[in-house]
């Protein structure tokens, strides 16, 4: 007859065991706050992409505000109001991008010295209404293309950032549609 100690030693290995590696990864995830594991690995690249988008949004705010305050002529008033609505939307996008950059442990770059060089879209100081609409439409199309590419690049590496970019992309597509309608009017 075997003793209790021998019984314990001869027992088959337990099958219901926790995955301690996964537990350790979950702990790390908690330390990282809102950052998913894939995002940690790709953090620097994702922050760089988001800073490019942030610069673009900030230049778009400046361009739309310039147009809002300088648009004049018979048809200008409702269009000037539309420019202000877009300026505010772009400022909201910039805020959301900056917040995500900080969540990822990066630094949002608001430096005015390099803003235009880092922006994908251009500033514009057209004085004629149609030229303003055209410049804004071009900028929105650039923004749409930029967000599409970023969404594709990030894929499953950082679902939280991807969802944010998909959300912003939807707004930019709406902006482009609205401006295209104004050009056709």
CB of 164 to Fe ion, least distance (A): 12
| Least Cβ distance, residue 174 to Fe ion (angstroms) | 8
Containing H/E element for 174? helix 159-184
Quote the DSSP letter at residue 80: H
Residue numbers of the site for Fe ion (CB under 5 A)? 57, 90, 93, 140, 172, 175
Nearer Cβ to Fe ion, position 76 or 91?
A: 91
Closest CA to 84 of 94, 95, 97, 71: 71
- Residue number with CB closer to Fe ion (90 or 158): 90
Whether 60 and 20 have beta carbons less than 8 Å apart is answered as no
Q: How far apart are CA 96 and CA 54, in angstroms?
A: 9
Of the candidates 138, 123, 125, 126, which has an alpha carbon nearest to the alpha carbon of residue 180? 138
Q: How far is the CB of 51 from Fe ion (least distance, A)?
A: 14
Residue 173 CB, nearest approach to Fe ion (Å): 9
d(CA 167, CA 169): 5
Task: Give the residue with the Cβ less far from Fe ion, 35 or 132.
Answer: 132
Question: In this structure, what DSSP letter does residue 75 have?
Answer: T
CB of 27 to Fe ion, least distance (A): 36
* Greatest pairwise CA separation for the chain in angstroms: 104
Residue number, 155 or 170, with CB nearest to Fe ion: 170
Nearer to Fe ion, 162 or 175 (CB): 175
């Amino acid at each position: 007859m075997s003793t209790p100690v021998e019984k314990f030693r001869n027992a088959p290995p337990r099958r219901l065991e926790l995955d301690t590696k996964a537990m350790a990864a979950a702990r790390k995830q908690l330390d990282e706050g809102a950052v998913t594991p894939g995002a940690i690995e790709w953090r620097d690249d994702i922050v760089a992409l988001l800073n490019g988008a942030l610069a673009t949004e900030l230049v778009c705010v400046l361009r739309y505000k310039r147009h809002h305050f300088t648009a004049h002529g018979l048809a200008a008033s409702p269009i000037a109001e539309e420019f202000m609505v877009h300026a505010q939307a772009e400022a909201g996008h910039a805020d959301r991008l900056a917040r995500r950059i900080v969540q990822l442990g990066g630094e949002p770059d608001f430096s005015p010295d390099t803003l235009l060089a880092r922006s994908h879209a251009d500033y514009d100081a057209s004085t004629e209404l149609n030229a303003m609409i055209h410049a804004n439409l071009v900028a929105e199309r650039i923004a749409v293309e930029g967000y599409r590419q970023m969404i594709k690049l990030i894929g499953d590496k950082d679902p939280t950032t991807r969802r944010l970019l998909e959300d912003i992309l939807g707004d930019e597509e709406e902006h482009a549609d609205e401006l295209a309608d104004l050009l056709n009017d």
